[in-house]
Amino acid sequence: MLKAIFLMGPTASGKTGAAVELLQRLPIELISVDSALVYRDMDIGTAKPDAATLKLAPHHLIDVIAPTEAYSAAQFRADALRLMADIMTRGKIPLLVGGTMLYFKALQGGLGELPQADPAVRARLDAEALLIGWPAMHAKLAKIDPETAARLMTTDSQRIQRALEVCELSGKTMTQLFAEQAATALPYHLLKLALVPSDRSVLHDRIALRFEQMLEAGLIDEVKALRKKYPALTADLPSMRCVGYRQAWQYLDGEFGLDELREKGIAATRQLAKRQLTWLRGMDDTVEFDCLDAAVNEKLFQYINQFINRKS
């Protein structure tokens, strides 16, 4: 049977470094599973591998669209399936690495049949949100569909709106619809690996340090340049709702100062990591490795090498 590998984990867990090292030792090709890395010109705030790293270890599905464009889980699934087939023809094994858990879920299980968007329902939800705010709308969703709400930020207006819209139009929650869908089986024997921290406080420290490094590297200037290069760019687009970019945009609009930008950016990234770990806890057949273990990359190599060489 064809084989494929998932390498998942929260932000700052060392996924990219592990994947780059594994590529030097194994017959694999890398596919990025990251809803932020698809955007061109968004390098610092996404922790995108630098040019030297990408030359050493090319990643598919990085820099595929402009920040003014949208990229869905359905598009990712179609692109990933095509790339996985191409990789197999070259005698390699696809290793899909990233932290966008919805993409992993969509790839493995397919996408549920969700109702089409309804402009009237969306307009009414937008009007309600103007009155009570998106955090209150998130609380409303949490009462109806706590599993979906747990994976969303309280300010993620697009996804909160969509989840409430689906509930209203279908009479079922997104959680129910995904559970009921007939899974579209992948023609691959999957090895699902997760990098998780044995001590979450250490991961939090890593996140804080990395955000500081992003600021020092010029995150604010990067957002300034994006606003200048893409006149159609707005704060409501998915690209600018990415962690770090939202806060930098608000800072540039004068909503708060640099210290608050730092605090909000770190807090939002930690919340993202928490949601990613929640997703991972709900996934079946996942083998966990401690991302804080100094020998984790070697352990990953040994485990994957056995998987690749297994005859079944």
Q: Which of 292, 63, 130, 101 is nearest to 200 (CA)?
A: 292
pLDDT at residue 242 is higher than 70: yes
Query: Is 234 in a helix, a strand, or coil?
Result: coil
pLDDT at residue 112 is higher than 80: no
- pLDDT value of residue 176: 83
Residue 310 burial by Cβ neighbours in a 10 Å radius (0-12, 13-18, 19+)? exposed
Q: What is the chain's mean pLDDT, rounded?
A: 94
- Residue 100 corresponds to which tokens in the numbers above? 């966008």
**Confidence (pTM):** 0.82
CA 214/CA 242 separation, integer angstroms: 14
Task: Return all residues near 223 (Cβ < 8 A) that are at least 6 apart.
Answer: 45, 245, 248, 249, 252
pLDDT at residue 198 is higher than 60: yes
- pLDDT value of residue 184: 57
- Position 43: which residue type? D
- Position 1: which residue type? M
pLDDT tens-place string over residues 69-94:
999 888 999 999 999 999 999 999 99
pLDDT tens-place string over residues 121-177:
999 999 999 999 999 999 999 999 999 999 898 988 989 999 999 999 888 898 887
H helices, E strands: number in the chain: 14, 6
- Position 248: which residue type? A
pLDDT tens-place string over residues 53-62:
999 999 999 9
